[in-house]
Amino acid sequence: MSNLSQEKCAACRANSPRVTPYEIAKLTPQIPEWNLMEKNGIPQLERTYKLPDFKSAIAFTNRVSEIAETEGHHPAILTEWGKVTVTWWTHAIAGLHRNDFIMAAKTDAIAAEFIN
């Protein structure tokens, strides 16, 4: 099994393949805290992280935004006092791509630095 957090995102275009149900079943155990959901007909990955205060939530949000810029793949982020909700999906295909699972794993790795 690969370590998703060590992978790099591939460039996506409108004709890039969505992950198959088989791939979802293989990838989901690598990001067990994430919820697979559908919003406005678009499958997405979402997780809420609990943090000790607003300053930590902002610092975590900034770290996620840095890796998103580096990888060229950007989430929806809701930052509140003591929590941050991160949602990944691939806009170009209006669905899930392997990149979303990679970025969820990278987000978890960042969270490990903030949450004990």
**pLDDT tens digits for 76-100?**
999 999 999 999 999 999 999 999 9
Which neighbouring-strand residues pair with 36? Answer: 45
| Residue 38, pLDDT score | 96
Nearest in space to 33 (alpha carbons), one of 109, 90, 91: 109
Q: What's the rounded Cα separation, in Å, for the pair 70 and 57?
A: 20
Strand partners, 87: 46, 76
49 phi and psi, to 5 degrees? -105, 135
Query: What single DSSP character describes residue 2?
Result: -
At 48-85, the pLDDT tens digits run 999 999 999 999 999 999 999 999 999 999 999 999 99
CATH architecture of 19-114: 2-Layer Sandwich (3.30)
